[in-house]
Amino acid sequence: MSASEPVIGIDLGTTNSVVATVQDGVPRVIPGRSGQLLTPSVVAFARNGKRLVGALAKRQAITNAEDTVFAAKRLIGRRWGSKEIEDARRVLPYRLVAGPEGHDVRVELGGRTLTVQEISAMVLAELRADAEAWLGQPVSRAVITVPAYFNDGQRHATKDAGRIAGLEVLRIINEPTSAALAYGFGKQIERKVVVFDLGGGTFDVSVLDIGKSVYDVVAVGGDTYLGGEDFDRRVMDWLTFGFAKENGGIDLRQDKMALQRLRDAAERAKCELSSLPSTAIHLPFLVGGGEGKSALHLDRQLSREKLEELTKDLVDRCIAVTERTLRDAGVRPSQVGEVLLVGGMTRMPRVQQAVREFFGREPCRGVHPEEVVALGAAIQAQALSAPHAGAEVLLLDVTPQNLGLMVVGGYFQTVIPRNTTVPTSQTHLFTTVQDNQTSVRIAVLQGASERAIENELLGEFVLDGIRPARRGEVEIEVTFEISADGIVGVSARDVATGLQQSISVTATSGLTEDEMRHILDEQIDELLERKQTAREFEARRDRVLALVREIEALGPEVHDALERTRFGKDAVLKAEGVLARARTAVEARDLAALAAEEEPLERTLQLFKGLAATARPGAR
């Protein structure tokens, strides 16, 4: 790795993802290879087995709903059987299954069972390839952002996705903190800032004290299952129930293609209503005809007022979380110097109005809601990779949820309370609860409930070899550490003997090191296979293009000869069709289509050579 190798910042979003870098001291978003700044966070396997990522995957989602994955960020790091996963299974067109141990979530895609980390890694790899194409050199280091309210398991899983994508993840940072960093970059600002971040699938709110180049997070709050997807679903439900009422109870949710068309239409209508008072939703032939029945169409008018009515409780939830977070920070709305709106959903007028009413001031419009998080990540990446190259940046982030362990009676004992600045380390003394107890099980949890079972189990381990004694006589010292990434490590020590056991917590919903090695080995095999396929494609492409050039060179002579035959026009049309299909296959880099056109091109060339010979002077 070269010292001058660029580093990138990635906002891995639910709906769209963005990659950025710092060039000549200026952070900027890197456009994709097709020119777009936002890359849809969508992965698909086409019917021919080809993997598609981004805009290409999104474009074919309607006709290939079962093999197109979107909103993977809402699944990453979650436990199988959790409330959120059960909800996702009811509404997503692609199939979710339990992992081998029954803990985590897997996705069935293109005849394979993939981890959510692998799906996210495909999006990250696409962004990395875009960055390499734009920068003209390899990229292997990145800062990746996550919602502030992500727990340890979700952070671990995101870091694993980066590793699978071939990236060294320098740091995992919170999205609102990243946005604040981009907002304050290059300015001498000293004020209290609230970041209101409502994206495609998650909601965060953070309170920060910004003092020149120090970004001190005071409190965070959020909901990792609240975002634009939920607003879209309200519109989808309204359309679905209205259609059923008008058409004898037909349930569009049973038709995956119709459901995907509804999802696209709902998202488009929601976006249009940010600038229009009403919009038309027209979906012809939504339900096919047959057996003498005519096809059914959907034609509805949706007003901004109706959208606001359908989503009122979602906006109210955002404000309730904001109010609670400010209370945790000990800050009144009137004490806030600036409110930053981040995430595509903050373009919705009702969301802006709710924020304005709560804070009693106009929110800041000086940041791009969809790009600002990636720009902040790029600034942090630059600061970590070249600390002496520019202005120093100090981020003081916090842990979003209480961290502790399960104690006797099934209760949760907090060791590190939420909103503690990280990195941090805290120690707590516990005693044995039974006579002659020789081992103790340490169950590490994260959450807000006093009951252990209602919190997220991050991991567990056993401290053996404790000296036998009466209960309460043996003291166990448990130390919790949280890194700057927000990732947890725990150790337990018998105070009397010094015997110690420790783990870097890997959530039960995460990948084991063996699974990670297996995935990385598969990646190498796929890379070698892709290189071999690329070489085969290039060789076949060169042969096909040579045939195309020969055929085109014979064109004028053949045209004269064909004009004298009855079948001239048909022959020209057939030849043009073969040439057009060959060019399309070359542009799409479709090896199978290219192979299929090689023989028709050979036949066309032989035909053209024969016709050209008859058209030349002196030919009989």
Give the separation between CA 192 and CA 440, rounded to whole angstroms.
45
Question: Is 73 a residue of the active site?
Answer: yes
Place of tokens 């965070």: 220
Nearest to 619 by CA among 564, 552, 555: 564
At residue 324, the 3 state secondary structure works out as helix
- Angle at CA 6, nearest 5°, toward 19 and 181? 55
Half-sphere exposure of 111 (CA within 13 A, CB side): 6
Give the separation between CA 311 and CA 323, rounded to whole angstroms.
19
Contact between 479 and 427 (Cβ < 8 Å) = yes
Nearest to 459 by CA among 481, 448, 443: 443
- Angle at CA 52, nearest 5°, toward 46 and 57? 85
What residues are paired with 20 via a beta bridge? 9, 29
Residue 60, token pair as written in the block: 């074919």
Question: Which entry of 58, 73, 159, 270 is annotated as an active-site residue?
Answer: 73
- Please report the sign of the dihedral spanned by the C-alpha atoms of residue 296, residue 277, residue 204, residue 164: positive
Count Cβ neighbours within 10 Å for each residue of 305-339 and write b for 16 or more, e otherwise.
eebbebbeebbeebbebbeebbebbebeeeebebb
What residues are paired with 115 via a beta bridge? 106
Contact between 307 and 273 (Cβ < 8 Å) = yes
Give the separation between CA 202 and CA 14, rounded to whole angstroms.
8
Contact between 172 and 373 (Cβ < 8 Å) = no
Residue 65, token pair as written in the block: 């709903």
Question: Which entry of 67, 197, 338, 481 is annotated as an active-site residue?
Answer: 197
Give the separation between CA 186 and CA 195, rounded to whole angstroms.
18
Kind plus residue range of the DSSP H or E element containing 271: helix 256-272
What residues are paired with 59 via a beta bridge? none
Strand segments (E) across 4-150: 8-11, 16-23, 26-29, 39-40, 42-45, 51-53, 68-70, 95-98, 105-109, 112-115, 141-146
Q: Please, what is the end-to-end C-alpha distance for the chain in angstroms? A: 69
Question: Is 11 a residue of the active site?
Answer: yes
Question: Which entry of 11, 130, 230, 485 is annotated as an active-site residue?
Answer: 11
Question: Which entry of 67, 152, 175, 456 is annotated as an active-site residue?
Answer: 175
Half-sphere exposure of 266 (CA within 13 A, CB side): 23
Q: Which residues are catalytically annotated?
A: 11, 73, 175, 197
